[in-house]
Amino acid sequence: MFGLDKKDARTFLFVIAITLLAPFILNPFPTESALAQFNAGYPDLMQRFVIFGIFAIGFNILFGLTGYLSFGHAAFLGVGSYAAVWMFKLLSFNIIPAIALSIVVAGLFSLAIGYICLRRSGIYFSILTLAFAQMSFAMAYSVLSNPSFNLTNGETGLQVYASDPQYLKGNGPDITHLFGLEMNSTTTLEIGAWAFQFNAGFYVCAAFMIAAFYIALRIFRSPFGLMLRAIKTNQTRLNYTGLNSRPYMLAAFVISGMYAGLAGGLLAATDPLAGAERMQWTASGEVVLMTILGGAGTLLGPVLGAAFIKYFENIFSKINDTVLHTWFSFMPESIENLLVAIIHPFVGKGWHLTLGLMFMLIVIFLPGGLVDGGMRIWNRITGRSRTQTDPVADPKPAE
């Protein structure tokens, strides 16, 4: 199927099924129940799941296969967003030209940065990518917002105005769309106490994520992917065989940057605004956490890690004291106040603390990430030993 063997085809079909059924899977609790707070099946969050899944899949091609850790991938995400918004301003709100330019511009930008940064390895490579990302952020925030050639609009962010030319707009809608299909159009299906939302923007982004996953799967199984794994295993020994590993490294870096550009373009497609904050070092660190948390070197890991972090960011951050008091209102007032005081530091503005603790536990007890944990549970259920399984990607957990 699509050039995949039986196991990879099953994995690919599983990803397709989970993605298409996401509105049902992410809404397990009735709409009016107290636990509805934990539902994640609304359009904005589902879009972020798949968009940052693309971002993490691309980053994993570089980090998971080669072991080269980049702290500057948010620069390509931001460049992709800016390129997409400029296409909206100059041509029309059709997302296809915007996303195409996002990928091309991010690819060219990553080619220039990768050519310089890959002259070094290890921590020096990581620091160089971080330096370029911070320089890009500074330029987007101030230098490129100069009134004479305002490309980024500084801290306000780049957005589309009614005065923008949009030469190819015609009779198209005044909102981002795919050949007339508006990205924010949503259909709600009510079944009993549940309400499921089907959003056009989510399914458009999901289609790109499925395609991105398929391409990554082919890369993992290709001779090119095998060469990248050889670089991770022992680059010096590989060079001694007479093979020049730098072109392979640069290709992996550019492909990874193009994935980030695609994610940036999709962010702009769902919300036509681009800001310098998308290029900050914290955004680069976030995709590192996503990949490690899910399982570096695996295919499903980055997608799971992205969903895990975005879930915490959007769900746990909204749980405030009012919500907690509602949950424990059936208890005596003293116990209610005590429980709220205990849980308060871990939710709301303190959601990072909960995420940090969970990340620490996963790194200590599941060094292979969430995928490693899933494999262990599956092995327990089936009674198979670890050596009998053939994981989706690299059988050796990332160190």
User: Across the strands, what pairs with 198?
Assistant: 187
The per-residue pLDDT for 396 is 44
Alpha helices (H) in the chain, listed in sequence order: 6-20, 22-25, 43-66, 74-90, 95-117, 122-141, 200-221, 223-240, 246-270, 281-294, 300-315, 321-327, 333-343, 351-365, 369-382
Would you say 261 and 67 are in contact if contact means Cβ atoms under 8 Å apart?
Answer: no
Task: Give dist(CA 11, CA 290) in Å, integer.
Answer: 20
- Global pTM reads 0.91
Percentage of the chain lying above the pLDDT 90 cut: 59
Task: With CA atoms as reference, report the closest residue to 307 among 284, 336, 286, 337.
Answer: 286
Q: Tell me phi and psi for residue 170, to 5 degrees.
A: 60, -130
Spatial separation of the C-alpha atoms in residues 216 and 394, rounded to whole Å? 13
pLDDT interval class at 169 (50, 70, 90)? confident
Question: What is the band of 206 on the pLDDT scale with cuts at 50, 70, 90?
Answer: very high
Tens digit of each residue's pLDDT (9 = 90 or more) over 366-384: 888 888 888 888 888 887 7
The string of pLDDT tens digits covering residues 240-281 is 888 889 999 999 999 999 999 999 999 999 999 999 888 988
Write the DSSP symbol of residue 328.
Answer: T
**If DSSP codes are grouped into helix, strand and coil, which group holds residue 164?**
coil
Mean pLDDT of the region 121-148: 89
* Better pLDDT: 254 or 38: 254
| Domains of the chain as residue ranges with CATH | 6-318+366-388 (1.10.3470)
Q: Which residues pair with 195 in a beta bridge?
A: 190
Structure tokens at 10: 């099953």
Share of the chain above pLDDT 70, in %: 95
Q: At what angle do helices 246-270 and 74-90 cross, to 10 degrees?
A: 50
| Residue of 33 and 261 predicted with greater confidence | 261
Q: Is the pLDDT of residue 119 over 70?
A: yes
Predicted local distance difference test score (pLDDT) of residue 386: 53
